[in-house]
């Protein structure tokens, strides 16, 4: 069984989708052009893809497709909220699939990427061969409230910084307060707000502190797309009905699924992954005993690569 990431690789093709005259959506193809198609869905929303994300898949077997979703990464405009929601992104995914001439593909998504994978699969079940999900997020009010108000039970120092600009005189709730600052047109307001939000999330995402990951949030474009889009999506319940993903699970319950979940995931606690597994006959749950949320943690890497090896047989 392969346990480590595959060696670095470069795309054999890149492209842009221009769905509406505003957004330019970057996508790339790696691995085997004649191989089994798999779509990588990054987290956030707004986190974008990185070269390491190509390496969860055997490039000799898989036709690997990655994209930077609207408003982040190499897609432009960065941090743009206009016409940026779950259903617009699902439309982008279908447009890319059709452009590449792919009949069906495997979905591979973590955190927000797991949310998007479930919503996309339920909208287009006939185009999906199976799902590999990590750090499951079902987009419920409770999960959003946990992120905003309760992760600090485990990371009180990080939450103290996240909460520090908020005062008793502020009339907004904490989410609206941060959102208002993140959409402020003045960079002197929205850049510090973005760095604060993004640093809070990254500090809570690993079992062992990762200063390098936190330092990456100093980049203003990276921090802004992540923080602004997350706050916007949170305020709209990820543009999904409450409980929708479990209510519509019957649409995809015939598909194979492997769920990789860190036991000590504070960003997306294991309850959601366990509930999804219990409601999904035939799904496999890999509860990683020594991992938090991040896809880069050794146990999570091992589980995800193992899952892509298993799905070679589809």
Q: What is the gyration radius of the CA atoms in the chain, in angstroms?
A: 18
Domain interval for residue 293: 13-140+240-313
| pLDDT tens, position by position, 185-240 | 999 999 999 999 999 999 999 999 898 888 989 999 999 999 999 999 999 999 99
Do 268 and 211 belong together in one domain? no
Q: For residue 1, is it within any domain? A: no
Do 246 and 102 belong together in one domain? yes
**Active site includes 20?**
no
pLDDT at 1: 38
Parallel, antiparallel, or unpaired: how do β-strands 36-41 and 62-67 relate?
parallel
Residue with token string 């509406």: 20
Catalytic residue among 23, 42, 63, 293: 293
Looking at every residue in the chain, the average pLDDT score rounds to 96
CATH code where residue 109 lies:
3.40.50.1820
Nearest to 194 by CA among 86, 43, 46: 46
pLDDT at 83: 98
Residue 2 has pLDDT above 50, yes or no: no
Do 35 and 78 belong together in one domain? yes
Do 21 and 88 belong together in one domain? yes
What's the number of domains the chain is made of? 2
**Active site includes 111?**
yes
Q: For residue 8, is it within any domain? A: no
Q: For residue 58, is it within any domain? A: yes
**Active site includes 265?**
yes
Nearest to 110 by CA among 79, 84, 131, 87: 131
Q: For residue 124, is it within any domain? A: yes
Q: For residue 4, is it within any domain? A: no
SS3 content of the chain, % helix, strand, coil (to 5): 45, 15, 40
Catalytic residue among 265, 277, 283, 294: 265
| pLDDT tens, position by position, 24-67 | 999 999 999 999 999 999 999 999 999 999 999 999 999 999 99
Whether the pTM exceeds 0.95: the reply is: yes
Do 110 and 250 belong together in one domain? yes
Confidence of residue 3 (pLDDT cuts 50, 70, 90): low
Do 62 and 181 belong together in one domain? no
Do 23 and 127 belong together in one domain? yes
Catalytic residue among 23, 53, 111, 277: 111
Do 303 and 268 belong together in one domain? yes
Do 42 and 180 belong together in one domain? no
Q: For residue 7, is it within any domain? A: no
Nearest to 19 by CA among 85, 112, 65: 85
């Amino acid at each position: 069984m392969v346990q480590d990431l595959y060696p670095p690789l470069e795309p054999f093709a890149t492209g842009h989708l221009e769905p509406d005259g505003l957004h330019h959506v970057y996508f790339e193809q790696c691995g085997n052009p004649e191989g089994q198609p798999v779509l990588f869905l990054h987290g956030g929303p707004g986190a974008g893809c990185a070269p390491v994300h190509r390496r969860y898949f055997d490039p000799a077997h898989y036709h690997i497709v990655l994209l930077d979703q609207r408003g982040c990464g190499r897609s432009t405009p960065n941090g743009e909220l206009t016409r940026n929601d779950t259903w617009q992104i699902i439309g982008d995914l279908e447009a890319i699939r059709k452009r590449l001439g792919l009949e069906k593909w495997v979905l591979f998504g973590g955190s927000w990427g797991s949310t998007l994978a479930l919503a996309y699969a339920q909208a287009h079940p006939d185009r999906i061969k199976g799902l590999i999900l990590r750090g499951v997020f079902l987009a419920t009010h409770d999960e959003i409230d946990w992120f905003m108000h309760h992760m600090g039970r485990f990371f009180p120092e990080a939450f103290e910084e996240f909460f520090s600009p908020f005062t008793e005189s502020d009339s907004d709730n904490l989410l609206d307060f941060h959102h208002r600052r993140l959409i402020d047109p003045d960079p002197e307001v929205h850049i510090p707000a973005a760095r604060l939000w993004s640093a809070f999330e990254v500090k809570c995402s690993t079992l062992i502190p990762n200063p390098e990951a936190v330092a990456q949030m100093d980049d203003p474009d990276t921090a802004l797309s992540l923080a602004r889009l997350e706050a916007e999506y949170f305020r709209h319940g990820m543009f999904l009905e409450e409980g929708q993903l479990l209510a519509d699970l019957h649409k995809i319950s015939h598909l194979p699924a492997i769920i990789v979940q860190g036991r000590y995931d504070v960003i997306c606690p294991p309850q959601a992954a366990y509930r999804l597994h219990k409601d999904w006959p035939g799904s496999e749950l890999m509860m990683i005993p020594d991992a938090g949320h991040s896809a880069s943690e050794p146990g999570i890497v091992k589980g995800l690569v193992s899952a892509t090896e298993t799905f070679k047989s589809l």
